Amino acid sequence: MPEGDTVWLSAKRMHEALAGDVLTTTDFRVPRHATADLTGRTVCEVVPRGKHMFTRLDDGLTIHTHFKMTGSWRIVDIGKRWNGGPAHEIRIVLGTERRTAIGYRIPVIEIIDTDRESDIVARLGPDLLGPEWDLDEAVRRLREQPDREIGEALLDQRNLAGIGNVYKTEALFLIGLTPWTAVGDVAKLDRLVALSQQLMSANRDHWPQATTGNIRRGEEHYVYGRGGAPCRRCGTRIRRAMQGPKAEDRVSFWCPSCQAGPAPMPAATTPA
Ligand SMILES: [Zn+2]
């Protein structure tokens, strides 16, 4: 699932590609806005808020998109062919005289009044990559539910916005606690949140993501995606298990030696 840093980088590229230019083509391939035509408007700016993206136009409208599990924006120069995948999975096209932005497999697309963006943002906790990042407020929100498992609480965008499963998993490894630890038992909650923010900040300007500092394929993460492989620190086999109700988005990895705290019995784990 794309995390906040992916959305941040994507918004930056969208902004560079479209801001200041007039839309010459718009194509909304979603039932709700199938007849919408926003040509003639100028793109003012493209901004990320948590995992949401707002493409602001000069007439007080905003195109709100959210990648969820599948989405992405691709920029194609005029005259170049689209070769990014099946065309029927394209959900939105925004074109200027210079470039075309193609929204691929994006599940959330809506046209809203720009001053209604705040309704969406109001539901979010402090934005890890936002201009008003507030560590104390994020920690305060997490502490309101001390019995909740930290792995679940960190992913709740009402506590802090932008974090996803990769950074959750890696930050918990670095702090030495399992994802099943109760929030109330995390002694260094502020350090954990600061660490999550630092990992995302360090990755927001480039791809691929790497929490280890090494972007070589297979070396990017400490435990994420490494079920069954030896821990980089101690050699113990990394374990993998599902956490929470939406299992496909909630696979957790941890080192049973480096990370203290509760964890599922081995029978409940699945191989990598
Ligand atoms: Zn270890």
pLDDT digits (tens, 9 = 90+) for 83-124: 888 999 999 999 999 999 999 999 999 999 999 999 999 989
- DSSP β-ladder status, 239-242 and 99-104: unpaired
Q: Which helix (DSSP H) or strand (DSSP E) does residue 135 occupy?
A: helix 135-143
20-71 per-position pLDDT tens digit: 999 999 999 999 999 999 999 999 999 999 889 999 999 999 999 999 888 9
Q: CA Rg, the chain, in Å?
A: 20
Predicted confidence at residue 247, as pLDDT, reads 56
Q: Kindly give the distance from the C-alpha atom of residue 43 to the centroid of ligand 1, in angstroms, as a whole number.
A: 48
CA of 226 to the centre of ligand 1 (A): 12
SS3 content of the chain, % helix, strand, coil (to 5): 30, 25, 45
pTM of the prediction?
Answer: 0.86
State in Å: Cα 256 to ligand 1 middle.
7
The Å distance, Cα 222 to ligand 1 centre, comes to: 9
Known catalytic residues are: 2-3, 51, 250
Task: Give the pLDDT of residue 249.
Answer: 60
- CA 179 – ligand 1 centroid, Å: 15
Count of helix runs (H) and strand runs (E) in the chain: 6, 10
- pLDDT tens by residue, 181-193: 999 999 999 999 9
